Amino acid sequence: MKHADICDVLSDASYLNQSTTVCGWVRTSRDSKTVAFVELNDGTSLKHLQVVLDKEKFADPSAFLKLGSSLRVVGTVVPSQGKNGGVEMSAETVEVLGTCPPEYPLQKKRHTLEFLRTIPHLRLRANTFNAVFRVRSILAAALHEYFQSRHYVYVHTPLITASDCEGAGEMFRVTTQPWNAEVKSEEEYFKNDFFGQKSFLSVSGQLEGEVCAMAFGKIYTFGPSFRAECSNTPRHVAEFWHMEPEIAFAELPDVLEIIEDMIKNVIKVALEKCPTELAFFDKNFQPGLLEKLNNLVNEKFGVVTYTEAIEILKKADVEFQYPVEWGCDLQTEHERYLAETVYKRPVFVTDYPKEIKSFYMKQNADGKTVAACDLLAPGVGEIIGGSEREADLEKLLAAMKERGMTLDAYEQYLELRKFGSVPHGGFGLGFERLIMYATGIENIRDVILFPRVVNKIF
Ligand code: 4AD
Ligand code: MG
């Protein structure tokens, strides 16, 4: 079906005064005595193309004005008569491709995001989702470009695993075994399972990412991770997109530098490539968003150690729901206080107590903390978790034993420390959380296609 993209018709002057074919869905329409207007959208741009139907040619245009129906229009692109300039299309012929009855749920101009969540298959046709998913696409491509142009190898790590990277007990089990009351023990049950052992959906590609970094130097993964966290929050989904770079010959300060450079770089790309979308979010969702993003590109991120952060939080003139003591995990309220009230920009918290972090992190000389870094962003909280990795076999083994881990599933990982071990580090970016930060959308369920959350598969 030969036709022009509406984004091109709107922006490319070579269409002016030319006969052109466009296809799209009717977003709004209005009828008057001599002409009727259709705002047509084909998904390629947030802006609609206004199609003008002259009543001399279209005596009864009512079939073309029905919200949600799909049309093919042949017409001439002409300068717009409206006060906003631009172009519109004067229609010659119109064909209805698909009708749309009045029960089409997107009749009103504005719906709440909560309502739209109940129609995930149709909500994408609303302006908000047109903008969210374009920003998402541009940011994904910008991340790829960032790493591709710096000699990182894009690797695809397995999604089914026998090991637990984060050790937080949040793994979904993978099984083909039916419930069988005859089975005597767990061991017997899993021996008969598909892989002959217990297996899970991966919470992170990091462990395999480290394997790759020890061969290719710099790698990144970008794919889904799965977490069976029972937290029903605006920041958690059970299936999220995870970008995980891993870098050989890198220590914690290098990891911080890469994170900051990467975030600034991709936000800059979004500002360049999605000006209309970001202006839309600034107007409708987060006033000041553009200023926030422009400042981000130019300001140095904050850096604070966990120990210093605890002191700041203890002195804070705020009633936290969760009390603060050295050793406690930072809650969202603490993270947001640091990023929003104290630093007013993204801030790294480094060197967390080893007890609240995973086994693989490099142990600091103090014997109490590890070389971890979380990046906290205003409005969202943690968007990145990373660290330098423990490269010393004996220390790593000790950390795993302290945690009571069985070593079977980690033999290959441990061998990396035996054969040419090097200082290395990496991080995991929660891609949806970056989208939340970049768009000002406050609920993670509105930046992913079909959210999977506790008690519900949308
Ligand atoms: O901090 P996390 O647990 O770190 C890791 O998984 C490391 N293995 C990463 C690495 O060093 N390669 O997760 C990384 C990020 C978090 O900062 C958060 O942005 C995101 O993943 N994340 C989630 N996003 C949405 N829903 C969830 N349930 C998430 N859990 C983590
Ligand atoms: Mg984390």
Residue 364 covered by a domain:
yes
CATH label of the domain that carries residue 57:
2.40.50.140
Final residue before a domain boundary, out of 104, 134, 153:
104
In a domain, 389, yes or no: yes
Residues 196 and 48 in one domain: no
Alpha carbon separation from 377 to 93, 203, 293, 311, 347 (Å, rounded):
51, 22, 12, 19, 7
What are the residues facing 350 on neighbouring strands?
305, 373
- Which of 75, 104, 133 is the last residue in one of the domains? 104
Do 47 and 148 have their domain in common? no
Residue 420 lies in a domain: yes
pLDDT of residue 333: 94
Residue 425: which residues within 8 A CB-CB, separation 6 or more? Answer: 246, 247, 250, 251, 252, 254, 255, 362, 371, 386, 387, 388, 389
Domain, as residue range, for 48? 6-104
Residue 31's region, left for phi above 0, alpha for psi from -120 to 50, else beta, is beta
What are the beta bridge partners of residue 370?
352, 363
**CA 37 to CA 65: how far, in whole Å?**
8
Q: What is the position in ligand 1's atom list of the atom closest to the CA of 431?
A: 19
Residues with CB under 5 A from ligand 2 (ion): 385
Q: Whose CA is nearest to atom 2 of ligand 1?
A: 385
Question: How high does pLDDT run on average in the chain?
Answer: 96
Count of domains observed in the chain: 2
| Verdict on whether the full-model pTM lies above 0.95 | yes
Give CA separation, 427 vs 158, 247, 381, in Å. 17, 9, 16
Q: What is the mean pLDDT of residues 9-20?
A: 97
Domain boundary among 70, 104, 138: 104
- Considering the domain architecture, whether residues 151 and 92 belong to the same structural domain is answered as no
Within a domain: residue 113? no
Residue 139 maps to a domain: yes
Q: Whose CA is nearest to atom 11 of ligand 1?
A: 427
Give the mutation target among 166, 242, 356 for probing the ligand 1 site: most ligand atoms within 8 A of CB.
242
227 CB less than 6 Å from ligand 1?
yes
Residues 90 and 50 in one domain: yes
In this structure, what DSSP letter does residue 4 have? B
Could you tell me if 404 and 433 lie in one domain? yes
Tokens of 396: 């790593």
Q: What is the pLDDT of residue 110?
A: 84
364 and 300 part of one domain: yes
Same domain, residue pair 242 and 284: yes
Whether residue 48 has its Cβ less than 6 Å from ligand 1:
no
pLDDT of residue 128: 97
Q: Which atom of ligand 1 is nearest to the CA of 429?
A: 15
- Looking at the structure, do residues 94 and 146 belong to the same domain, yes or no? no
Residue 166 in contact with ligand 1 by CB distance below 6 A: yes
User: Is residue 356 one of the residues assigned to a domain?
Assistant: yes
229 in ligand 1 pocket by Cβ < 6 Å?
Answer: yes
Residue 28: both structure tokens together = 């709004």
Residue 172 included in any domain: yes
Ligand 1 close to Cβ of residue 375 (< 6 A): no
pLDDT band at 437 (very low <50, low <70, confident <90, very high): very high
Q: Are residues 79 and 150 in the same domain?
A: no
Mean pLDDT lowest for which of 116-130, 182-196, 365-379, 429-443? 182-196
Q: How far is the CA of 421 from the centre of ligand 2 (A)?
A: 25
Asked if residue 295 and residue 201 are part of one domain, the reply reads: yes
Residue in this structure with the two tokens 């005596």, named with its chain if needed? 59
Tell me which ligand sits closest to the C-alpha of residue 233: 1
> Ligand 2 centre from 105 Cα, in Å?
39
131/60 same-domain check: no
Query: How far is 236 from 155, CA to CA, in rounded Å?
Result: 25
**382 Cβ inside 6 Å of ligand 1:** yes
pLDDT tens digit sequence for 64-89: 999 999 999 999 999 998 888 899 99
251 has pLDDT over 80: yes
CATH number for 387: 3.30.930.10
Answer whether residue 406 is part of any domain.
Answer: yes
Q: Tell me, yes or no, whether 19 and 132 share the same domain.
A: no
